[in-house]
């Protein structure tokens, strides 16, 4: 990092020249010495140095802090203050400029060199993070201002689908259709004066494998290329229908065809899509051949709503995939019978698409209790779904659906964002000791831009990263140990804590403790249950706690249901516990009340501990 261009802002010439000589002996390049804020701003605008050393007391109408504010507002240049003023008020003013350090006069050469190295290293790291995050931040901004447009493809997104559907219906008041025929690939015609609206659900076959091979950036290029093909098809059919393409998620699209007089128009469109996909895609000098599956449903005289129509199209599409892909299927009553086992999941998946938009998701918080103090030390964030018809749905009912459909990624990101923001609110209310644990899914952990997503979430929430704990299961980590260790180390560089969830359930957990950079291990409930009466569980739990402490890891036991279990864990010096015995998961307001009570959860009887 040497040979950096440095600007000195110092109004005492002898001090400035002496400083310049020291810097040059350290292989830094001093581009100029100026004595006022005005001169400093002019020089920065002209030459943009790599670092500024600025005295706080300088000539002119602006002091060094005011000058730094102007410079930092227009330039990303690290500034180190040189000052003889060490009072709290001055240092507080200086810190608000985003400075990279300060050195108290007089200073030694070693202090100067170390401070410069630290400032340049910090700036380089922050610049790399900011550059990498720029696209993500821009996308976030666009989504906030235009929630109906998919930022990657610039197509309408799933939230706009309902509006498009209503618009198309209003365009032909006399629209009607005959009942859906049972024949799947030989659809009948309708009378000339009748009009139909078709919904085609489209998905790329084997997309999971493709995107894992390509990576996120090339995956996005492929999605754009597929959109071009779909757009070509809608343009080809523009004299036969009014159409719109909607991106539902990842590789899944809905195509609305309105003003069509025959069902065969929709099937001809699907055949054209399959035909156009036969030509290869060139992505990053890699030639790819794709196939796709499609399902088609029609708006008919039963006046079905968009949710049910999309559900029908998705059923037909999934049936096409089950039949090997590279085909389309029409939705029929017989198909309903074939896929009836999955109908509830498909319906829930459709509803889950809208759950975030409709603010139906909610976080509950279960406290983690320190066995040393008996007080709340942290909290685990747990998602719940307030379904408008089914009521409160536990995560075990919908998380597997989210994981299977890739909805787990936006869902998991929402949990992280919400948990971090809420924890920061509790910190600001005086509970600044509170840490929050969030489960990280396998899909999230494998995201190539996970580091940048986490950085942005922390930046937006302003939560100090050491108060965020990410819980991962062994199953997530076993597929590529070397790569996953690197990912965990990147996460830890942010200051985030790493927790191994469900410890002891995997066949190789003990070996991984030495390889992975964990901070916390959570003992699975199966080793805690009846620990006071089950000698095997007692031996396992005690061994885990002792071993973890030797490795300087914190131990959390979950699923505590009885006082006997709690007492046993306290005796064996488990660090923290959570479970319904202490508190069930609570919504925000109830958990806030629990914090305000400052309850002592210590219910361990010392005499009963001694009895073990």
Give the CATH number for residue 113. Answer: 3.40.50.2300
Give the CATH number for residue 571. Answer: 3.20.20.450
> What are the pLDDT digits (tens) for 544-593?
898 889 889 999 999 898 898 899 899 889 999 999 999 999 999 999 99
> What are the pLDDT digits (tens) for 3-28?
789 999 998 888 889 899 988 888 88
Under a CB-based contact definition with an 8 Å cutoff, are residues 501 and 471 in contact? yes
Say yes or no: 270 and 373 in one domain. Answer: no
Question: Residue 4 has what pLDDT?
Answer: 87
Say yes or no: 167 and 284 in one domain. Answer: yes
Say yes or no: 192 and 251 in one domain. Answer: yes
Q: Which percentage of the chain shows pLDDT scores above 90?
A: 32
> Has residue 346 been placed in a domain?
no
Q: Is the dihedral of CA 576, 578, 583, 587 positive or negative?
A: positive
Strands of 196-204's sheet in order across:
242-249, 252-260, 196-204, 292-299, 327-330
Sequence-distant (≥ 6) Cβ neighbours of residue 271 within 8 angstroms: 328
Sequence-distant (≥ 6) Cβ neighbours of residue 457 within 8 angstroms: 413, 416, 417, 420
Question: Residue 30 has what pLDDT?
Answer: 92
Least confident of 91-105, 107-121, 460-474: 91-105
Nearest partner of 524 among 548, 498, 551, 506, judged by Cα: 506
Q: Where are the beta strands (DSSP E) in 205-326?
A: 242-249, 252-260, 281-283, 286-288, 292-299
Question: Residue 576 has what pLDDT?
Answer: 95
Nearest partner of 260 among 249, 268, 272, judged by Cα: 268
What's the average model confidence in pLDDT over 127-138?
Answer: 46
The total number of structural domains in the chain stands at 3
> Has residue 359 been placed in a domain?
no
Q: Which domain holds residue 280?
A: 158-338
Give the CATH number for residue 223. Answer: 3.30.70.270
> Has residue 323 been placed in a domain?
yes
Nearest partner of 466 among 458, 474, 476, judged by Cα: 458
Least confident of 295-299, 424-428, 579-583, 602-606: 602-606
Say yes or no: 467 and 320 in one domain. Answer: no
| Residue of higher predicted confidence among 64 and 504 | 64
**pLDDT band of 174, cuts 50, 70, 90:** very low
How many CB atoms neighbour CB 217 within 10 A?
Answer: 12
Global pTM value: 0.48
Say yes or no: 492 and 555 in one domain. Answer: yes
Nearest partner of 353 among 154, 143, 153, 160, judged by Cα: 160
pLDDT tops 60 at residue 342? no
> Has residue 484 been placed in a domain?
yes
> Has residue 528 been placed in a domain?
yes
> Has residue 404 been placed in a domain?
yes
My answer on whether omega of the bond before 338 falls inside 30° of 0, hence cis, is no
**pLDDT band of 608, cuts 50, 70, 90:** very low
> Has residue 145 been placed in a domain?
no
Concatenate the DSSP letters of all residues of 21-32 into one string. HHHHHTT-EEEE
Question: Residue 194 has what pLDDT?
Answer: 56
Q: Which of 89, 108, 129 is the last residue of a domain?
A: 129
Q: Is the dihedral of CA 80, 81, 86, 88 positive or negative?
A: negative
Say yes or no: 314 and 387 in one domain. Answer: no
**pLDDT band of 507, cuts 50, 70, 90:** very low
> Cα separations (Å) of 607 from 279, 371, 381, 524, 581?
78, 16, 35, 27, 20
Say yes or no: 408 and 555 in one domain. Answer: yes
Least confident of 122-131, 323-332, 566-575: 122-131
| Residue of higher predicted confidence among 91 and 563 | 563
Say yes or no: 306 and 374 in one domain. Answer: no
Say yes or no: 577 and 514 in one domain. Answer: yes
Question: Residue 191 has what pLDDT?
Answer: 43
């Amino acid at each position: 990092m040497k040979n950096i261009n440095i600007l000195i802002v110092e109004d005492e010439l002898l001090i400035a020249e002496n400083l310049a000589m020291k810097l040059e002996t350290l292989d830094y390049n001093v581009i100029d010495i100026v004595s006022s804020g005005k001169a400093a701003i002019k020089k920065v605008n002209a030459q943009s140095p790599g670092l500024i050393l600025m005295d706080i007391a300088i000539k002119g109408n602006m002091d060094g802090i005011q000058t730094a504010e102007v410079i930092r507002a227009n330039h990303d240049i690290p500034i180190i203050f040189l000052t003889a003023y060490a009072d709290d008020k001055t240092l507080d003013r200086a810190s608000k400029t985003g400075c990279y350090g300060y050195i108290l006069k007089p200073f030694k050469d070693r202090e100067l060199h170390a401070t410069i190295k630290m400032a340049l290293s910090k700036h380089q790291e922050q610049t790399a993070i900011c550059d990498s995050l720029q696209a993500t931040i821009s996308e976030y901004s666009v989504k906030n201002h235009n929630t109906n447009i998919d930022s990657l493809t610039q197509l309408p997104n799933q939230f706009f689908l309902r509006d498009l559907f209503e618009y198309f219906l209003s365009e032909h008041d006399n629209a009607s259709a005959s009942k859906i025929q049972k024949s799947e690939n030989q659809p009948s015609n309708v009378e000339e004066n009748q009009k139909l609206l078709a919904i085609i659900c489209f998905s790329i076959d084997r997309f999971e494998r493709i995107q894992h091979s390509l990576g996120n950036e090339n995956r996005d290029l492929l999605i754009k290329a597929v959109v071009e093909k779909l757009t070509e098809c809608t343009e080809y059919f523009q004299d036969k229908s009014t159409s719109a393409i909607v991106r539902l998620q990842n590789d899944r699209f809905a195509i609305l065809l309105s003003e069509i007089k025959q069902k065969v128009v929709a099937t001809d469109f699907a055949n054209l899509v399959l035909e156009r996909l036969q030509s290869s895609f060139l992505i990053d000098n890699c030639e790819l051949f794709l196939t796709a599956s499609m399902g088609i449903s029609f708006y008919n005289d039963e006046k079905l709503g968009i949710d049910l129509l999309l559900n029908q199209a998705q059923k037909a599409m999934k049936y096409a995939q089950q039949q090997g892909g590279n085909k389309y299927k029409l939705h029929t009553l017989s198909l309903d019978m074939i896929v009836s086992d999955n109908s509830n999941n498909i319906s829930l998946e459709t509803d889950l698409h809208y759950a975030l938009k409709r603010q139906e998701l909610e976080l509950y918080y279960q406290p983690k209790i320190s066995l040393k103090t008996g007080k709340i030390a942290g909290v685990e964030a747990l998602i719940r779904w307030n379904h408008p018809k089914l009521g409160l749905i536990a995560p075990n009912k919908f998380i597997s659906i989210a994981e299977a459909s890739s909805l787990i990624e936006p869902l998991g990101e929402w949990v992280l964002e919400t948990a971090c923001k809420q924890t920061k609110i509790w910190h600001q209310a005086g509970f600044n000791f509170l840490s929050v644990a969030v489960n990280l899914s396998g899909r999230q952990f494998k995201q190539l831009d996970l580091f940048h997503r986490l950085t942005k979430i922390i930046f937006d929430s302003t939560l100090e990263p050491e108060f965020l704990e990410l819980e991962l299961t062994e199953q997530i980590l076993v597929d590529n140990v070397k790569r996953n260790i690197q990912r965990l180390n990147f996460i830890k560089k942010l200051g985030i804590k790493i927790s191994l969830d469900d410890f002891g359930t995997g066949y190789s957990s003990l070996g991984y403790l030495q390889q992975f950079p964990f901070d916390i291990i959570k003992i699975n409930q199966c080793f805690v249950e009846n620990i006071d009466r089950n000698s095997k569980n007692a031996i396992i739990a005690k061994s885990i706690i002792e071993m973890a402490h030797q490795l300087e890891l914190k131990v959390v036991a979950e699923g505590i249901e009885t006082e006997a279990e709690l007492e046993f864990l306290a005796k064996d010096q488990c660090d923290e516990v959570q479970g319904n015995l202490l508190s069930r998961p609570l919504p925000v307001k109830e958990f806030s009340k629990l914090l305000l009570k400052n309850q002592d959860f210590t219910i361990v009887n010392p005499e009963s501990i001694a009895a073990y």
